Amino acid sequence: MCLLFRAVLLVALLFPLTCVAQDRKAVVTVGGFVQDSLSGERLPGAMVRISGQHLATSTNAFGFFSMAVPSGAVQVEVRYLGYGTQVTHLYLRGDTSLVVRLSPKSSQLAEVHITSGAPSHTDIRLANKITLSSREIQELPRLMGEADAVKAIQLLPGVQGGREGASDLHVRGGGPDQNLILLDGVPVYNVSHLLGLFSVFNTDAIKNVDIVKGGFPARYGGRLSSVVEVQLKEGSNQGFRGEGAVGLLSSKLLLEGPVSGGKTSFLVAGRRTYVDALAAAASKLSGEEMSRYRFYDLNLKVNHRFSPQDRLYLSVYAGDDSFADTYVYAGEHQREEQQFKLQWGNVTSALRWNHVFSPKLFGNMTLTYSGYEFKVVDDTKLQQQDSLFHLTLTYASRIRDWGAKFDFDYIPSPRHEINFGGNYTNHLFHPDAIQVDAHLNTPSAIVSAGADVIPAQEYYLYAEDVVRLSDRLQASTGLHYSGFVVKGRHFHSLQPRLALAYHSAKGLSLKSSFSTMAQYLHLLSNTSTGTPTDIWVPATAQVAPQRAWQYTLGASSLAWGGALDVSGELYYKHMANTAEFKDTPDFMQEFIKSGSNTDFAAYVSRPYEERVVSGKGWTYGSEWLVRKREGKTTGWISYTLAWAWRQSDSLNYGERYPYTYDSRHTMAVVASHSLTEALRIGGSWTYRSGSAVTLPTTHYKAYQEEIGQPGQVPQPGSVEFLGERNNFRMPAYHRLDVGITHHKKKNWGERTWNLSVYNLYNRQNPFFLRTSTPGVLSSGTVKRQLYQVSLFPILPSFSYGFKF
């Protein structure tokens, strides 16, 4: 592979010298934008090809394309999923700019009509990417009335979701921290609402979602396993419109429209639960305090077109979750009130400037901000006659980023497309801090401990050349150089990227790739129960940056007259310097118990480097996807056969052990069918092998001193022997979700009813396992029993939606 990379890189560097004569043959550039004819929305990933010639490209994230073509008469053919194909006839004498406006197809019931020519996977930049449109996400069955982008991604090959209901993504055996999740180009550090039941992405505001699992373009870096890029709609510049929905747990509203004669457009979308309002009403009726929960999120996007060559975008997201549980006891001589609060949230913003320097050169400059924070508070008040005892324990963690980046696309000749750019990010880490405040009539702080704020700087530069070596062979060669400065250390990483794609005359496409990735951030998991108390920490001299090397080999083709896209891929990935906490008790339990002592505060005050261990991992497997994206029936079938291993000298006696989410078999079947123009049904069935967990294999009697009572007589007790790490498999996970949607046109717009059922056959999937001691046998042997705790039974839901 190393020799192959060097050979292709040499060809890529020397090829411009061999094609100078060709480029001097009256070659001109045609470039411009592809957009929706009704809303003016730019369309990323649209296929643009020159009919009768082996020249094709796709639009970038901002709908821009550029191609170097021979002068003279040409036919520019543009295609995009869900839109009619448009052919533009041009006679080119020089560089030409144009705007292609595609019209949405009038009916979802229209059968598929295949246009002859190259399918989308013949573009090497699209071959390693899966795109989900907003429409595809909306057609999935809904949980509590909400269609969700992350739940849709979990149904793709090579991806699984971890715990029941969670928004985690485990891609090709990687951890949830190893995914670069971008919202309009800005990293999002926690994508969960309601402990993972919903994600932070409002589907109504989404344009599309791109997922890259291998063959990473050189512009991406900073994570090992995947890139998930969520693009929001820009806001219609053709007319004012709105849409919304009312579900069982939440409601949402989106408004968009033009300002200033169509040069400016805006989009604002909001979503909020009313669980807290229902709980407050129930508390008032019952006279008892109840747990309260709420979340909200807000998306705002504004863009202004200064000229055909310049456009400015402002994108803002803010979201927050809050859970509170109150316990009150009122006796004759005392009153006790205890309140537990858990709060977490994200804020992101991006200011982008797009500029078309010429039909050959497109630039995008961006300023970014991203912040994530969680806080846990346990507050106890004890009133006895004239004295008041007040104890407050607070645990918090946060990360904040400010950044700037630039990206350029340059097309010097018909056979070359060069992408280059860079990024600088200033991180501020506050990994964890605890404060214990005790008041006995007068305030007095007992303990304040935890890590100091850790500043760090991260940067990268990249360059990539997409080379058309022949009419059927493409290569993408690139380099990504990154650096990280923290605590006086300067880490570097040079990451070569190589991808090859061959397209046969019979429609079969073969592809292979090699990529190296580096990650300077670690996510340390504090708990196994799904609460958002994991902490982000920087790599240091003691906890080195993570690294990965990945190889892929795949094939794809159109089948069934072009209606189906069939693909398969083999992969192998090796990871170094993975980090996790040492074997410690569950964080949430320890935090609650710490009210009686300061042991937890002392634990937190230790540097996080002393609380983690490093190791390595390797994963390999095969992925298969059969997909139908147009017609009365759409959907996909995905299957993954995979292995995921971890190894650390400090764990499992130094021997390898299966990763927690090592699932041998993962499968998903997704289908949506239009019965009539107004009525659509859909369903999804998912299956995966059981996750690996660590359970005790032996219990034996032992004597121990009572905790906190030195000098006391030892008491009989029981000690658990765990044996190997992840030595037990949970039962397999599977469930069926179904939904039915009815649309009806109204004078004022359109209304929609949706009925969905989550877990239709009421499968009791494992959330976690625990052991208990129900008794002792007559022989004196202690009887142990294993229990499964399940989370979601069958859950019907209903929602009402509207558009105007």
User: What span, in angstroms and rounded, lies between the C-alpha atoms of 168 and 166?
Assistant: 5
**DSSP letter for each residue of 444-467:** EEEEEEEPPPEEEEEEEEEEEEEE
What pLDDT does 252 receive? 95
In angstroms, what CA-CA distances link 351 with 190, 200, 369, 464? 21, 20, 9, 25
Mean of the per-residue pLDDT values of the chain: 85
Q: Residue 158 domain-assigned?
A: yes
How many Cα atoms sit within 13 Å of 602 on the Cβ side?
4
Q: Please say which residue of 62, 93, 118 terminates a domain.
A: 118
Nearby residues of 56 by Cβ (< 8 Å), 6 or more positions away: 47, 48, 49, 50, 117, 118, 122, 123
Highest mean pLDDT among 109-113, 382-386, 491-495, 773-777: 491-495
Same domain, 152 and 190: yes
What are the pLDDT digits (tens) for 441-468? 665 555 566 668 999 999 999 999 999 9
What pLDDT does 424 receive? 98
Helical segments of 551-688, H only: 587-593, 599-605
Regarding predicted confidence, which is higher, 70 or 644? 644
Helical segments of 356-507, H only: none
Sign of CA dihedral 528, 530, 533, 534: positive
Does residue 82 carry a pLDDT above 90? no
Find, among 79, 203, 163, 173, the residue nearest to 630 by Cα: 79
Find, among 57, 137, 171, 50, the residue nearest to 417 by Cα: 57
Q: Report the CATH number at residue 52.
A: 2.60.40.1120
Same domain, 585 and 638: yes
Q: Which domain holds residue 93?
A: 2-118
Buried b (16+ CB within 10 A) or exposed e, 72-102: eebebbbbbbbbeebeeebebeeebeeebeb
The pTM of the full predicted model, rounded to 2 decimals, is 0.88
Instruction: Judge contact between 536 and 547, C-beta under 8 A.
Output: no
Strand order through the sheet with 64-70: 64-70, 27-36, 96-102
User: What span, in angstroms and rounded, lies between the C-alpha atoms of 574 and 647?
Assistant: 12
Does residue 108 carry a pLDDT above 60? no
What are the pLDDT digits (tens) for 486-536? 999 999 999 999 999 999 888 899 999 999 999 999 988 765 555 677 889
Find, among 482, 458, 517, the residue nearest to 216 by Cα: 517
Pairing of strands 633-647, 665-674: antiparallel
What pLDDT does 117 receive? 38
Does residue 111 carry a pLDDT above 60? no
Pairing of strands 546-559, 535-538: unpaired
Same domain, 241 and 283: yes
Can you tell me the mean pLDDT for 114-120?
40
Q: Report the CATH number at residue 216.
A: 2.40.170.20
Q: Please say which residue of 85, 118, 151 terminates a domain.
A: 118
Same domain, 312 and 234: yes
Does residue 18 carry a pLDDT above 50? no
Same domain, 537 and 618: yes
Find, among 296, 436, 412, 289, the residue nearest to 360 by Cα: 412
For 783-788, the CB contacts below 8 A with 24+ separation are 784/696, 784/699, 786/695, 788/730, 788/731, 788/764
Find, among 454, 443, 590, 480, the residue nearest to 531 by Cα: 590
Identify the band that residue 417 occupies on the pLDDT scale cut at 50, 70 and 90. very high
Same domain, 513 and 365: yes
Q: Residue 722 domain-assigned?
A: no
Tokens, residue 605: 């005050």
Buried b (16+ CB within 10 A) or exposed e, 300-317: bbbbebeeeeebebbbbb
As a residue count, the chain comes to: 804
Q: Residue 701 domain-assigned?
A: no
What pLDDT does 443 receive? 59
Beta bridge partners of 327: 338
Phi, psi of 283 (to 5 degrees): -65, -40
Q: Residue 433 domain-assigned?
A: yes
What pLDDT does 14 receive? 41
Same domain, 353 and 453: yes
Regarding predicted confidence, which is higher, 717 or 81? 81
What pLDDT does 774 receive? 61
Q: Residue 704 domain-assigned?
A: no
The domain tally of the chain equals 2
Q: Residue 778 domain-assigned?
A: no
In angstroms, what CA-CA distances link 57 with 69, 70, 508? 12, 15, 18
Instruction: Judge contact between 466 and 445, C-beta under 8 A.
Output: no
What pLDDT does 22 receive? 42
User: What span, in angstroms and rounded, lies between the C-alpha atoms of 251 and 145?
Assistant: 9
Same domain, 67 and 176: no
Regarding predicted confidence, which is higher, 424 or 1? 424
Q: Residue 720 domain-assigned?
A: no
Same domain, 143 and 87: no
Instruction: Judge contact between 636 and 170, C-beta under 8 A.
Output: no
Does residue 747 carry a pLDDT above 80? yes
User: What span, in angstroms and rounded, lies between the C-alpha atoms of 375 and 394?
Assistant: 7
Instruction: Tell me which H or E stretch contains 413.
Output: strand 387-413
Sign of CA dihedral 645, 646, 649, 650: negative
Instruction: Judge contact between 222 and 135, C-beta under 8 A.
Output: no
User: What span, in angstroms and rounded, lies between the C-alpha atoms of 245 and 750?
Assistant: 12
Same domain, 411 and 444: yes
In angstroms, what CA-CA distances link 661 with 79, 176, 316, 645, 688? 39, 11, 34, 10, 10
Can you tell me the mean pLDDT for 165-193?
92
Buried b (16+ CB within 10 A) or exposed e, 630-640: beeebbbbbbb
Q: Which of 301-305, 564-568, 608-612 has the lowest mean pLDDT?
A: 608-612
3-state SS string over 199-238? ECCCHHHEEEEEEECCCCCCCCCCCCCEEEEEEECCCCCC
Identify the band that residue 605 occupies on the pLDDT scale cut at 50, 70 and 90. low
For 251-256, the CB contacts below 8 A with 24+ separation are 252/202, 252/204, 254/202, 254/204, 254/205
What pLDDT does 779 receive? 59
Tokens, residue 5: 């990379």
Instruction: Judge contact between 348 and 399, C-beta under 8 A.
Output: no
Does residue 391 carry a pLDDT above 60? yes
Does residue 214 carry a pLDDT above 90? yes
Identify the band that residue 627 occupies on the pLDDT scale cut at 50, 70 and 90. very high
Same domain, 476 and 501: yes
Query: Computed over its alpha carbons, how large is the radius of gyration of the chain?
Result: 28
3-state class of 127 per DSSP?
Answer: helix
What pLDDT does 535 receive? 86
User: Residue type for 304, please?
Assistant: H
In angstroms, what CA-CA distances link 103 with 43, 65, 81? 11, 18, 11
Q: Residue 280 domain-assigned?
A: yes
Q: Please say which residue of 90, 118, 146 terminates a domain.
A: 118
Tokens, residue 753: 């009813």
Same domain, 39 and 161: no
Tokens, residue 469: 């070596």
Does residue 12 carry a pLDDT above 50? no
What pLDDT does 608 receive? 72
User: What span, in angstroms and rounded, lies between the C-alpha atoms of 439 and 736?
Assistant: 53
Sign of CA dihedral 651, 653, 657, 660: negative
Identify the band that residue 7 occupies on the pLDDT scale cut at 50, 70 and 90. very low
User: What span, in angstroms and rounded, lies between the C-alpha atoms of 188 and 792?
Assistant: 27
Instruction: Judge contact between 99 and 88, C-beta under 8 A.
Output: no
